[in-house]
Structure 1
Amino acid sequence: MTEGTYLYAVARDPLPGCPPGVVGTAVRTIVRDGLVAYVSTVPLEQFGEEPLRRSLEDLDWLAETARAHHRVVDAVAAVTTTAPVRLVTVYEDDGQVVDLLERRGDDFQELLAQVTGRREWGVKAYTKPGGGVGAADEGPAGRPEAGEGQPGTAQSEGHACQAEAGAGRGEGHACQAKAREGRPGTAYLHRRRASLRGREHARRQALNRAEHIHRALSEIAAAGRRHRAQDSRLSGRQDWMLLNGAYLVDEARAAEFAALADTLGGDGVEIRVTGPWAPYSFTVMEPA
């Protein structure tokens, strides 16, 4: 067998015309029990199990395949309720797709009912790394700044403690503790601990802010999901991504949702809204 069937999405209605699919293949439909599967025939020399494993390591190939996949899904979703299928879902032949529609027809119908009249919106929230809390003030190579804990200071205080020892045991201990406070290493450790406490406080504040944004948006959306934060190499930003959210929003409330998202930024947090999209985050089913 040299060809397989690539599945893009399952929808309610056939689209009169569809853009080209992956590797430039023509997109066609398979209809069964009120469901329409959008598919194309692909060469297994690229989409077979072993070749595909190698192809997925080629970022250029993967990016081009993803663009073609989403181009088809978006075209279908623009005219009919659509359930996108996971990227690079390939079956042996059309017969397996027919079997999928028959076995999981009720699941697809339920998904399509849930997203009817709704689109997906993406919301990302960014802030500066560490929430603006930097490292402790240190000199080069992490050394305490010049002028703090100067050589001889702790030694002098130590001699003073010895001189005062006769004044009473308690006073002697207090004086020795004061001398330790003046040592360069002790001063550095105190500043380092304060820096770490500040960073942890900033981290907790950022997490609480992200949760607040997500809850507020979810109150308007029909459903909301938080995805893992994107790696900076993928997002193209060095800022810290606090939130990578997807929200299923009624088309009638789209403007309200976008307006709310805009108000949730500020105070060091930047909000970026994208969409509307086909409901990728709310309809993709794992192949059974």
Structure 2
Amino acid sequence: MNTAGSLTYVYVVTYRTGLPGDSLVGLHGIGQAPLRFLSPTTDTTDAAPDAAPGTSLAALAFVASDVAEEDFNEAALKNHFEDLQWLEHVARTHHDVVQAVAARAPVLPLRMATVYQDDHRAGQALAAQRALFIQRLDQLRAHTEYGVKIYLRHDATEPPPAAPAPPTSPGKAYLQARRAQSHSREAVYRQAEQAAGAIEAIASRHATQRVRHAPQRGELTGPQENVLNDAYLIPDDRAGPFQAAIAEAAGNFPNLRIEVTGPWAPYSFAMPASGRADDPEPSP
């Protein structure tokens, strides 16, 4: 039940089955609001197509909380999306809820700021996509997302100190320095291509799916250049060998920084390419 002047904010789709009744106790959403389960707005409890044995529509749920309408209506969101401090706070809280629920049950993370006019509208949206949600939850069961990033080390793209050379003109010296820098960068990029191939070979043995994200830029990477930013869906019983294999491969590429992130809830795999976890669009 919504409080006056509030909207319903949803964080994830999950199953209530197997979760203790107090599983959301002590967890809070945006604005420290208590979390709650929302069931589909429907009278049927028949299993959806392709659901796992014993799975029913009644077991499906949103994890939701109230948010202030004045902060999350359409006009307010347009303004807030230009407020980096506000965005960081909401994104961090959203992520914390997703990760906390994912530690307890399979989840489909929803995009940040997915809001509905009230619980009834949210329940209708959940019921409308029940088959897709249940099918995807069952496919992701016992899987976790890990990220793999390749960075060029800042100092690796600079040419090594040159041996003393006979005096030459400033113009020629400049061209020689630029040529040496270019050769150094080419060598590091070739190493990055080899590392990407090694990572792909490892993933082929351990991962069930991959999503290739655009390399990160700006403040997220600092002085190092990010040239690969992939996400992998790893069965839980393969997570250890996958991370160990990546760490071993990283030792073969001293001019690169290869970083494994995770475990994460399956943000990159919540929906297949042909599906949208948050359609139809919420109605604020």
Normalised to the residue count of structure 2, the TM-score between the two structures is: 0.76
CA-CA distance at 1:210 after TM superposition: 2.5
Matched, 1:72 2:97: yes
Structure 1 equivalent of residue 210 of structure 2:
224
Structure 2 equivalent of residue 4 of structure 1:
7
Matched, 1:37 2:37: no
- CA–CA distance in 2 between the matches of 1:193 and 1:271? 27
Normalised to the residue count of structure 1, the TM-score between the two structures is: 0.75
SS of residue paired to 1:86: coil
Percent identical pairs in the alignment equals 35
Deviations 1:101-121 (A, max 9, x none): 222111111210111011111
Matched, 1:99 2:124: yes
Structure 1 equivalent of residue 115 of structure 2:
90
Larger Rg: 1
When residues 127 and 8 of structure 1 are mapped into structure 2, their CA distance, relative to the original with a 3 A threshold, is same
Q: Kindly provide the amino acid, as one letter, of the partner of residue 210 in structure 1.
A: A
Q: How does 1:64-213 map to 2 (within 5 A)?
A: 64-129=89-154, 131-134=156-159, 147-149=167-169, 185=171, 189=175, 192=178, 195-196=181-182, 198-213=184-199
Structure 2 equivalent of residue 241 of structure 1:
226
Q: How many residues align?
A: 246
Structure number with higher helix proportion:
1
Structure 2: gaps spanning 5 or more residues: 41-56, 272-276
Q: Kindly provide the amino acid, as one letter, of the partner of residue 86 in structure 1.
A: R
Structure 1: gaps spanning 5 or more residues: 138-144, 150-183
Structure 1 equivalent of residue 50 of structure 2:
none
Q: Kindly provide the amino acid, as one letter, of the partner of residue 277 in structure 1.
A: W
Matched, 1:60 2:90: no
CA-CA distance at 1:259 after TM superposition: 0.6
Further displaced range: 90-99 or 41-50: 90-99
Q: CA RMSD in A?
A: 2.7
Q: Kindly provide the amino acid, as one letter, of the partner of residue 107 in structure 2.
A: T
Assess if the C-alpha contact under 8 Å between 1:121 and 1:246 holds in 2: yes
Matched, 1:265 2:271: no
Further displaced range: 67-76 or 127-136: 127-136
Structure 2 equivalent of residue 162 of structure 1:
none
When residues 260 and 102 of structure 1 are mapped into structure 2, their CA distance, relative to the original with a 3 A threshold, is same
Matched, 1:277 2:282: no
CA-CA distance at 1:122 after TM superposition: 2.0
